[in-house]
Structure 1
Amino acid sequence: MRLIGMFAVAGAVVLASAAPTAMATAGDDPVATVSPNTVQPGQTVHLALHNCENPGEGGLAEGSLVGGGTTARSPIGITELKAGADGTLVGTATIANAERGTTETIYLACNSNPDEVVEATVTVTH
C-alpha cells in the first residue's frame, strides 16, 4: 500500500527527531531516524524505523509528490524497509529532486500499522 493513501486515513501523525545519533523514546510508538540528516542531492541516506508491532512485515518510506503531472517524489522515492537483526526496519535511499537549502520530509510507516505515519527530516545543503 502506498503511503499517500495512508495520509488520508491517518488519525495522527507522529513527529520524530531526525538526528542521526539521537533516538526519541516514545513508548511503543514508531520512531524514525535518518542518517546523515544533512545531505547533498545524490547522497545516500540510511533510514530506520523502530518499534513496529510486527517488523517481519516490513515497511515503506517515501518523500512528498513533486507535482506537475509527475509521480516523482522529493527527497526520496518509494523505498522498501526490511527488518534488521534487532527488529528495526531499515533501508537506504538516494536524495533526489530536492532543492539545495531546504529541509525535506521523509514519511515512514510499518506495514503492520500503516495508519501510523512517522516523519523524519533531512536538510539539503548548498
Structure 2
Amino acid sequence: MNLLDLIIPPAFAAADGINSDPSGLSQLILPGLLLLVMYVLLIRPQQKRAKDHKALLAALKKGDEVVTNGGVVAKVMSVDESFATLEIADGVVIKAQKQGINQKLPKGSVKI
C-alpha cells in the first residue's frame, strides 16, 4: 500500500464537498481555542505580575527593606516619583529607579 493511496481519496472527497462544513465555523474553532489558551497561560499571568509590581512600588515607604533586580538588599531611605534612595551598608547610600526594585522583604531581614 502506498502513502498516496491514503492521502489522495480523502483530498478528492473534500474537493467534491463531501464532509465539508459550508459555514467554515470548524475552521475558526481551533484558532479561537489557541488564542484562548495563549491568553490564559501567557498574557493573563503577566498582567497579574505587572499589577502586583505596580502595587508594590506604590506602597513603598521609608524603612521598607527591599531587593533590587540586581540582587542588592537595601533599606529604603526615601521615595519620590520615580527614584528611591536606598541604604545598602552603613553610610553607603545609592539612588535607584523604583522600577528596579524587585521585591519587599519582611522587617528585620536587612542587618545594616
Question: Normalised by the shorter chain, which TM-score bucket?
Answer: under 0.3
Greater relative CO, 1 or 2 (CA 8 Å, sep 6+): 1
User: Which has the larger strand fraction?
Assistant: 1
TM-score, normalising length: structure 2: 0.26
Q: Bigger radius of gyration, 1 or 2?
A: 2
The TM-score, its normalising length taken from structure 1, stands at 0.24
Q: Of Structure 1 and Structure 2, which has the larger fraction of its residues in helix?
A: 2
